[in-house]
Amino acid sequence: NAGVMQNPRHLVRRRGQEARLRCSPMKGHSHVYWYRQLPEEGLKFMVYLQKENIIDESGMPKERFSAEFPKEGPSILRIQQVVRGDSAAYFCASSAGDNTEAFFGQGTRLTVV
């Protein structure tokens, strides 16, 4: 049973480009969470999704950031018109539902140059 798969592991974008981060949850998991880890900081919650639904996006910046978890395929975190301050590690986690453990992927390290 493969774990949570994130790709790419490393992503370099120039300012103004778009970044697309992918997360495939563990088999049987229908809950996906995205977190951002800025250098020297802890993880900050961004968004919580179930299949085809955004449940909680209270941690998402109001502009340029969006997330989806379609019926088929991975969850996508999309950052439009990236700026240097978007440079961070983005982690995805998945769980099977209430009161179950969340498993984390290895993260995507985004660098904006």
Partner 1 sequence: GDSVTQMEGPVTLSEEACLTINCTYTATGYPSLFWYVQYPGEGLQLLLKATKADDKGSNKGFEATYRKETTSFHLEKGSVQVSDSAVYFCALRERGSARQLTFGSGTQLTVLP
Residues that bind partner 1 (CB under 8 A): 4, 6, 31, 33, 35, 41-45, 48, 55-56, 59, 91, 93, 95, 97-107
Least gap, CB of 33 to partner 1 (angstroms): 5
- Give Cα separations from 35 to 18, 25, 88 (angstroms): 18, 14, 10
Q: Could you give the CA distance from residue 47 to residue 36 in angstroms, rounded to a whole number?
A: 10
- 17 or 104: CB nearest partner 1: 104
Least gap, CB of 16 to partner 1 (angstroms): 28
Least gap, CB of 77 to partner 1 (angstroms): 14
- 86 or 105: CB nearest partner 1: 105
Q: Which residues contact 76 (CB under 8 A, 6 or more apart)?
A: 20, 21, 22, 23, 67, 68, 69
